[in-house]
Amino acid sequence: MLFHDLFRHEPNQRRIAAGDFLFRAGDPGDALYVLLEGHARVLVGERAVDEVEAGAILGEMSLVERLPHSASVLAVSDCTFAAIDEKRFHILIAQTPHFATEVMRIMAHRLRATNQLLQQE
């Protein structure tokens, strides 16, 4: 699913300059974000754990769990993100059940990648 196309016209967009953070670990997590344009890096502590481009979903764990962010997202280039709050998230799931499956796939993929990182240590 091409998330950046699905969310290109979302009214709640955030532009983040290269070198700035979309959010930091510990910040409140009241939305998930879809990267519409640019390149970003996901950091756990000082360690880069993922590099993402347009179409990536970020912050989904905090939205689902209603807990602060567990990682930070740094804009490597100028970025545009669509912010999806909990109400909009529920509407999307109701209208597009495949969206929920895609979010779960992304979360599962990240868990597997984290497991691999831990096994390498």
Give pLDDT tens digits along the chain (121 positions).
Answer: 455 567 877 889 999 999 999 999 999 998 999 999 999 999 999 888 889 999 899 999 888 888 999 999 999 999 999 999 999 999 988 988 888 888 888 889 888 887 787 788 6
Global confidence as pTM = 0.87
**Burial of residue 41 (number of CB atoms within 10 Å: 0-12, 13-18, 19+):** middle
Q: Which domains does the chain have, with CATH numbers?
A: 3-120 (2.60.120.10)
**Burial of residue 56 (number of CB atoms within 10 Å: 0-12, 13-18, 19+):** buried
Residue 1 contacts residue 57 (beta carbons within 8 Å): no
